[in-house]
Amino acid sequence: MNQISVVKDLLRFAQVFSQMLHVGVEVTYQNVVQVLAGAIVELERNKTKALRPGIKDDPETIMQETESNIITTLYLLTILTKLLKKCNEEEKFNVNRMVFMLNRLNVRLRDGQTFLHLACNAETPVDDFHTNDVCKFPCAETTRLLIQCGADVNAMDTDRNTPLHIIVNYHKPISDFMTLHSIIMDLTEAGAHIDCVNIRGETPLDSSATGSKSLFQLA
């Protein structure tokens, strides 16, 4: 199977799972976990190729595949959060183990965003073929899952923005108060530095959107 088809196949699975959830058809934990396992394998392969490209490997193609797989994997994590309430302890442990592996892999977009940045970011791209019916960002549940499984809450993108910088710039603090509050609390309780400065010399409070500033101070 060529690698382009793998990228597309992973996305198709995320689309199908999203459509099923949206219309009320049961999505099984086992099916989603199997696809997530495949996505992790692909991301491991992407990282290896990026570090040690072959003679015929195109770095730009490798990066495009990596970014596509990262975004699709984020969709799968978000879909899994919808199923965790019905999972038994063994299944939850297995999910946590896999998410821990993802965090340890530390794959990023070309702008340095980690899975945690993306889960906090309203600008994270969402495929519009069914996926956007289920996956919306920022997502408090996906953020919490990543943090619980060892995501670095102080990781920086290429602009030195941490996930906290990202979420406090969310421009819908009133209409989505609970999401904003939940993510800020989870990040700060997990040790996110409120005095961390980005490339513009701004702390999260300095760069926060007007509507979220008071909420951030409360956290």
Kindly report, residue by residue over 75-129, the tens digit of the pLDDT: 999 999 999 989 999 999 999 999 999 999 999 999 999 999 999 999 999 988 8
Distances (CA, A) of 191 to 18, 162, 182, 187: 33, 12, 14, 7
pTM over 0.75: yes
- pLDDT attached to residue 1: 42
- Across 29-57, average pLDDT: 93
Q: CATH classification of 1-108, choosing from 1.10.8, 3.40.190, 1.20.58, 1.10.390?
A: 1.20.58
What's the mean pLDDT in 181-206? Answer: 93
**pLDDT confidence of residue 216:** 57
pLDDT exceeds 90 at position 206: no
Portion of the chain with pLDDT greater than 90, in percent: 77
**Dihedral pair phi/psi, residue 20, rounded to 5°:** -60, -45
